[in-house]
Amino acid sequence: MKMNKWTLGLAALGLVSLGSVAQAEEKTVPLMTAISSTTLSGYVDTSAVWNPGTGNANPAPFSFNAGKQDGFNVNAIGLTLDKPLTEDQWAAGYHVDFVYGPDAGLVTGSFGTSASIKQAYVTVRAPLGNGLDFKLGQFDTIIGYEVFESFKNPNFTRSYAYTIEPTEHTGLLASYQVVPGVSLSAGVADTATTLGINTRSTRAESHKAYLGSVTLTAPESWGAMAGSALYVGIIDGFGSKTFAGVAEDQSNIYIGATINTPLKGLKVGASYDQVRHLAVFGGTGDAGYAAAFDLYASFQVTDKLTISSRAEYAKGNNLGAALGGTPFKKVLALTGTVDYSLWQNVISRLEVRWDHAADASKAFGGTVPGTGVKHNDIMLAADLVYKF
């Protein structure tokens, strides 16, 4: 019996059994009608990492870096089911992202250390004004220059800015395009931080997180700078931190810009992230603060070759320990990435990264967790991602 790729994909996800499909195909029943416009896609993300020097007990504590030093890695396997909104006034669709592998453990919907539901939402449109779009379920956070999927970012490794941001929320998000070039989003979610799908405060009825953003996009009349964008986002509400034994709010502010330049192939960007954890429920004081400043530049040299760079400065009271590393309060990081397309459907990149503890602390290296022996951490990485 011959089965189509869609059926085999659903079987691989465990959503159907091949036995039941075989029985169903013996009957003339239009089972595929409702999902005929759904697409199945995904990726396999792998890497090889080398950190020169002896001892990797204290690597730089940015996201997805732990445990990947001096070896070969499977980072993540992603599978996506998607039915996007059409142009209809009452359009409806859905989106689901499954993630497997070591990186899945840092996703909100994690089932442990190797599998998660990163996104799972229903999206609908109401014909109000220019069309008001809603997402209900689990969706990616509305702030940040970088995203979970490494191949969608200019660089393979993540920034400290990404590390201090929330990643996903479970809630309701509304989006509206006011006029061409001006769009707004606002929503409410169970939590402001990465706690887990359907996780909420014990005061669930009144203690939520609130999300809001505005995006300004340059029109075609701006010439070479057309398509450049300015983005401002705010998240405030129940978080995952505690202070003096009480729960606390978390507040995130993000400002980011991407700019197309008159020089063909050159794009630049900048972002500012700030997070504060404030005690509530009778607690007092500031339980945590961190901020990150990032500059990005990408230059497409040829159709196959792109060179990208990132410069970052991050600071915070007890920043290193808050991110799971050794204590330090300031860090400077420089990253350079060469992306050269050698194979069809494959992203192949080489990257060098330098992290420097800017407060003179010995934050990195050594063989004892929590006791670093050097001010600098250097990484050389190769990244191969197959997209399908």
CATH of the domain at 101: 2.40.160.10
Q: Do residue 303 and residue 324 come from a single domain?
A: yes
What average pLDDT does this structure show over 35-55?
A: 90
Percentage helix, strand, coil for the chain under 3-state DSSP, each rounded to 5: 10, 50, 40
Count of structural domains, the chain: 2
Q: The tokens 């609908």 sit on which residue?
A: 124
Residues 24 and 114 in one domain: no
Together in a domain, 214 and 265: yes
Please state, for a pLDDT cut of 70, what percent of the chain lies above it: 82
- Residue 246: which pLDDT band, with cuts at 50, 70 and 90? low
Residues 270, 208, single domain; the answer is yes
- Give the C-alpha separation, 226 to 324, whole Å: 41
Place of tokens 């606390």: 248
Query: Is residue 64 domain-shared with residue 120, that is, in the same domain?
Result: yes
Predicted confidence (pLDDT) at residue 267 exceeds the cutoff of 80: yes
Residue with tokens 């229903």: 122
Q: Are residues 24 and 58 in the same domain?
A: no
Q: Are residues 29 and 113 in the same domain?
A: no
Q: Report how far residue 307's alpha carbon sits from residue 297's, in angstroms, rounded to the nearest whole number.
A: 8
Indicate the pTM of the whole model: 0.86
* Least confidently predicted of 9-18, 30-39, 56-65, 122-131: 9-18
| Residues 134, 18 share a domain | no
Same domain, 57 and 25: no
pLDDT of residue 106: 81
What dihedral angle (degrees, nearest 10) is formed by the CA atoms of 94, 177, 297, 224? 130
Whether the CB-CB separation of 246 and 279 falls below 8 Å is answered with yes
Residues 181, 211, single domain; the answer is: yes
Calculate the dihedral angle through the C-alpha atoms of 113, 12, 157, 252, rounding to the nearest 10 degrees: -70
14 with 73, same domain?
Answer: no
Spatial CA neighbour of 122 closest among 108, 136, 111, 133: 136
The answer to whether 315 touches 330, Cβ cutoff 8 Å, is: yes
Does residue 371 contact residue 326 with C-beta atoms inside 8 Å?
yes
CA distance 145 to 269: 9
Q: Answer yes or no: do 231 and 134 share one domain.
A: yes
- Give the range of the structural domain holding residue 15, as residue numbers without chain letter: 1-36
pLDDT above 60 for 204: yes
Distance, CA of 52 to CA of 327 (rounded, Å): 22
The pLDDT, as a whole number, for residue 27 is 45
Alpha helices, DSSP H, located in 123-276:
160-163
